[in-house]
Structure 1
Amino acid sequence: MGLTARIRTRDGWAVSHAVVTLTDMTGAQVLRAEADAEGAVRDTTPLAPGAYTVIVTAVGYAPAASSAIVTASGRADAGNVTLARQGGTELPPPGPWTIDPAHSSVGAVAQHLGISSVHGRFTEFRGRIEIAPDETAKSRVEAVINASSIDTGNAMRDEHLKSPDFLDVVRYPEISYLSTGLTPAGSDRWTVHGELTMHGVVRPVDLNLAYLGTGADPWGGTRAAFRATAELHREDFAMNYNQVVQAGIAAIGTTLKVELDIQAVQGETLPQA
């Protein structure tokens, strides 16, 4: 008996400090519970059968409300409740934002032997976001990655990826991205249109961008968080190396899934921390 729920952010993290309030159809509060460290609510207060409203609040997040039905068993499951950061339905305040590499990640996933995945990341990069004051579509993103900073957790594989078979970092030491436009794709999602320069080839690449919210940091600044994904094909960037193993299966897949988790600090520079 009682109420169960799981409180999560839009990117799947538990909200451990969330408070869940249950009200009946008259608006009277019948239950109040706090999520545990895993974002779970497991309250055993007996509930009378009927319709209720579940209200979830947490500092720094927009409140969420949903309906719940308590069955004859005296329990209700609110399921997964997703909270959006305050300000999560629009882009951050206008002006320049500087990407913080220490609290961001640039990763890629490729298929290996047709049965598993190899995860890699670039450890050195820099970037800037310019939020346009009036027309969101005119906002800009630019980023530069040090191609030789590739890290897949295997030194031999990393050296091969740096070789002319793949990134050819001696001839092409940087990978760059420059946006050309922004199209809304939902209340807190956008498609970033831009051009990616890699291995000496320039191709149009769209990023699927989710804005996760804005908040203060411990150094007196303001930060915004984003998550973006894209799909790339190696042959589009003249990286055609392939070793075929038994049964015609390629050792390394030709498709790369790019995953970006970005924190940006408001202003032209990063805090000295």
Structure 2
Amino acid sequence: MTTTKWSIDPAHSEIGFKVKHMMFTNVSGNFEKFDASIETDGDNFETAQFEFSGDIDSISTGNKDRDSHLLSADFFDASQFPKINFKSTSFKKLNEGEYKLAGELTLHGVTKPVTLDVEFGGLAKDPWGNTKTGLSVSGKINRKDWGLNWNSALETGGVLVGEEVKLQIELQFIKQ
């Protein structure tokens, strides 16, 4: 089998997340600068190897003050830990188009295993003859597992920032 390399199409990809704020609303954000690649045996994704890296300082939640706080030592400490990285350990088919992606997520100087749900959109040619594939990735992590512990208690009970982070990722790759 020939190894096939797939490169991210950043114009058609999003790395998003949501976190509870004040226990009752979600704040959404994303990383604006990232890179990802996949290696497969031919066009077979059963043994796919995934790699991802994102620039922490590209975080955007639509609020400059909040983004600055997220980059500070209270949260990501972007000056000391400028990247988020993921490297897959397995990609297992569950049903047609449904997979589990397992790997090692490195964030804030800590590496931990994660398992994510993937909807695999198959392969298609674009109008310019490029073969593309699309994946929708979702999952949850607890930010405290990576040492992102900052919080503030609320007068009414509970905390300002939720511990659970929901990942919502849309990826489009181009066959090289």
TM-score normalised to structure 1 length? 0.61
Shift of 1:166: 0.7
User: Per-residue displacement from partner, 1:56-101 (whole Å, max 9, x unpaired)?
Assistant: xxxxxxxxxxxxxxxxxxxxxxxxxxxxxxxxxxxxx961110111
Match of 1:226 among 102, 110, 135: 135
Task: Give the alignment partner of residue 121 of structure 1, picking from 30, 38, 41.
Answer: 30
Structure 1 residue ranges without an equivalent (≥5)? 1-92, 268-273
Identity within the alignment, %: 33
3-state SS of 1:248 partner: coil
Give the corresponding residue for 1:191. Answer: 100
The aligned residue for residue 109 of structure 2 is: 200
Partners of 2:45 and 2:172 lie apart in 1 by 19
Name the structure 2 match of 1:36.
Answer: none
**2: CA distance, partners of 1:126 / 1:136:** 19
Task: Give the match's secondary structure for 1:139.
Answer: strand
Residue 209 of structure 1 aligns to a residue in which SS?
A: strand
Q: CA deviation at 1:218?
A: 3.4
Structure 2 counterpart of 1:168: 77
| RMSD, aligned CA | 1.7
1:29-62 residue CA offsets vs partner (Å, 9 max, x unmatched): xxxxxxxxxxxxxxxxxxxxxxxxxxxxxxxxxx
| Corresponding residue number in structure 2 for 1:58 | none
1:137 shift after superposition: 4.5
Q: Structure 1 residue 169: deviation in Å?
A: 0.5
Bigger strand fraction? 2
Q: CA deviation at 1:220?
A: 2.8
2 CA distance for matches of 1:149 and 1:136?
30
In the alignment of these two chains, the number of paired residues is: 175
Q: What's the TM-score, normalizing by structure 2?
A: 0.94
Alpha-carbon deviations, 1:183-230, whole Å to 9, x = none?
111111110110000000000011111111322223331111110101
- Where 2:156 maps in the other structure, the secondary structure is helix
Rounded to whole Å, the distance in 1 between the matches of 2:46 and 2:80 is 34
Partner in structure 2 of residue 264 of structure 1: 173
Answer 1 or 2: higher relative contact order, Cα 8 Å, separation at least 6: 2
Q: What 5-or-longer segments of structure 2 have no aligned partner? A: none
Q: Any idea what SS the aligned residue of 1:218 has?
A: coil
Structure 1 residues 217, 137: CA separation in 2 closer, same or farther (over 3 Å shift)? closer
Greater Rg over alpha carbons, structure = 1
